[in-house]
Amino acid sequence: MYQQALKEGALTIYGSMDADQFAVLQNAFSSQYPGITVNYVSLNPPQAYTRITSELQAQNYSADLMLSSTPTLYTMELQGYIQKYVSPEASAFPSIALDPLNGTTPMMELSIGWWYDSNLVSSSQVPTTFAGLSAAQYKGQIELNDPTTGSTYTQYWAALAGILGNSTVLNFLQTLETNTSPTVISAFASCANDVASGTHAFCLGGFMQDAAPDIQGGAALKYLPMPNLPIMVETSNLGIIAHAKDPAAAKLFVDFASSPIGQLTIGNINVRTPVSRTVNATWSEVNVINHFAPGATLAYFPSVSIAQNSQAWGALFKSMGY
């Protein structure tokens, strides 16, 4: 495959991982497979979706690979924008992390937790129930990502509803909206960072990889443990775009990223979690949880049915005032 990929010579990836972090993996790939230029464009999943679907419609096939969290990628798979390819290396991954549609390959795990600023709320006063957190005293102090977009955060709340019960989650969101008017942001990754800065006291749904560097940097950001509320884990997968110009290079990259070397490389990026449980990486799932959210339980999302109904979930959250 390498020889075929060499003939192609290049590879374009649209991805939601920060470019500086992706560069570590890119450099490791280039060391092992010299002669293939990797062009990485950092875009959040909705932006990547719009661009890729427009390019396909125009038959201008720029992107070969999409690296995205599964909520967006499953939607694209269901709509036929992804050509099915699962790396043989993925057979070593835990089955719960695998793509149920069997069309993409998981590359890393993304954990979403709730966070608070310990300068604004002392540990002893941290609310421990949904009712406590949605009380009017926290008006203007809560931030969350837009749950109406159909992407990760729509499917996050939908998945939570499946775990905690529809009424629990919907009542909480409605009460939260009524009592606290939470700030809803559209910029990905800002939620945990904003709470680390002190803009808001609580972030309901911030990525671990965004929160962890802030904590390491001395921010008063802490994991908010709520009874029965798991840390929700989604995977970030690699999907080969339909009509990719460089399919061999794309497959080679997918194979590399899911190989033990690729997984170890990912797991040593601060703070990125590999899917593989067999590599001895600095930021394996266990290490990350023990370090930043001790005692937290984990639950994987999304399911295919949630991805299929993401628009309806988004509309529901919108009707609640979000």
Partner 1 sequence: MRKLPLPSLPALILGIGVGALGIFIVYPIIFTLFGSFWSSRPGFPGHFTWNNYLSAFGQGGVAGLVVNTILFSLGSSVMGIAVGLLLSIVTVRTNTPFRRSLFYLPFFPLAFPVFIANLAWVYLFSQRVGLVNIALGDLGLSTSTFNIYSWPGMIWAGGMALVPISYITIAAALRNMDSSLEDASRMSGAGIGSTLRNVTVPLAIPAILSAFILDFTIAAGVFETPTMIGIPARISVFLSSIYYNVDSIVPPNYAIASADSSLILVIALILVFAYNRSLRSSRRYEVVSGKGYSSGVLPLGRWRFVSLAGILAYLVVGLFLPFVTMVMLSLVPVWLPYDLFGHMGLGNFQYVFSNTSGMVPTIVNSAISSVFAATIITFVSLSLVFVARRTKVRGRGLLEALGMLPIAIPALVIGFGLLWAFLTIGREIYGTLAVMVIALSLAFIPQGMRSLSGGVIQVQMELQEASSVFGAGTMATMRRIFLPILRPSLVVTWLYVFIAAFTSVAPVVLLSTAHTGLFAVFLWSLWSSGEIPQFAAGGMVLFAIVWSLILALVFVQRRLERTRVYRPEVRS
Binding of partner 1 at residue 44 (CB under 8 A)?
Answer: yes
Task: Name the minimum Å distance from CB 146 to partner 1.
Answer: 7
Question: Does 303 help bind partner 1 (rule: CB under 8 A)?
Answer: no
Burial (CB count within 10 angstroms: exposed 0-12, middle 13-18, buried 19+), residue 268: middle
Binding of partner 1 by 122 (CB under 8 A)? no
Q: Quickly count: other Cβ atoms within 10 Å of residue 286's Cβ.
A: 10
Is position 113 an interface residue for partner 1 (rule: CB under 8 A)? no
| The binder of partner 1 chosen from 2, 6, 32, 62 (CB under 8 A) | 62
Helices 247-258, 19-32: axis angle to 10 degrees equals 100
Smaller CB separation from partner 1, 228 or 270 = 270
CB of 311 to partner 1, least distance (A): 8
Measured in whole angstroms, how far is the alpha carbon of residue 272 from the centre of its chain?
11
Sole binder of partner 1 in the list 203, 285, 314, 316 (CB under 8 A) = 314
The answer to whether residue 14 forms part of the interface with partner 1 (CB under 8 A) is yes
Task: Please select the residue that binds partner 1; options are 32, 118, 318, 320, rule is CB under 8 A.
Answer: 318
- The residue within the footprint of partner 1, chosen from 8, 33, 36, 46 (CB under 8 A), is 46
Give the Cβ contact number of residue 3 at 10 Å.
7
Number of residues that bind partner 1 (CB under 8 A): 66
- Does 105 sit near partner 1 (CB under 8 A)? no
Does position 304 bind partner 1 by CB under 8 A?
no
Residue 58 makes CB contacts below 8 A (sequence gap 6+) with none
Residues 178-217 that bind partner 1 (CB under 8 A): 181, 183-190, 193, 196-199, 210, 213-214, 217
Q: Where are the beta strands (DSSP E) in 159-315?
A: 183-185, 202-207, 221-223, 231-241, 273-274, 298-300
Please, are residues 118 and 222 in contact by the beta-carbon 8 Å criterion? yes
Indicate which single residue of 5, 8, 36, 72 sits in contact with partner 1 (rule: CB under 8 A): 72
The rounded distance, in Å, linking the Cα atoms of 310 and 199 is 30
Instruction: Report how far residue 159's alpha carbon sits from residue 180's, in angstroms, rounded to the nearest whole number.
Output: 23
Of 151-170, binders to partner 1 (CB under 8 A) are 151
For residue 302, cis peptide bond before it (omega within 30 degrees of 0): yes
DSSP 41: E
Task: Tell me which residues touch partner 1 (CB under 8 A).
Answer: 12, 14, 16, 18-20, 22-23, 26, 39-47, 49-51, 53-55, 57-60, 62-63, 71-72, 75, 79, 120, 140, 146, 148-151, 181, 183-190, 193, 196-199, 210, 213-214, 217-219, 310-311, 314-315, 318
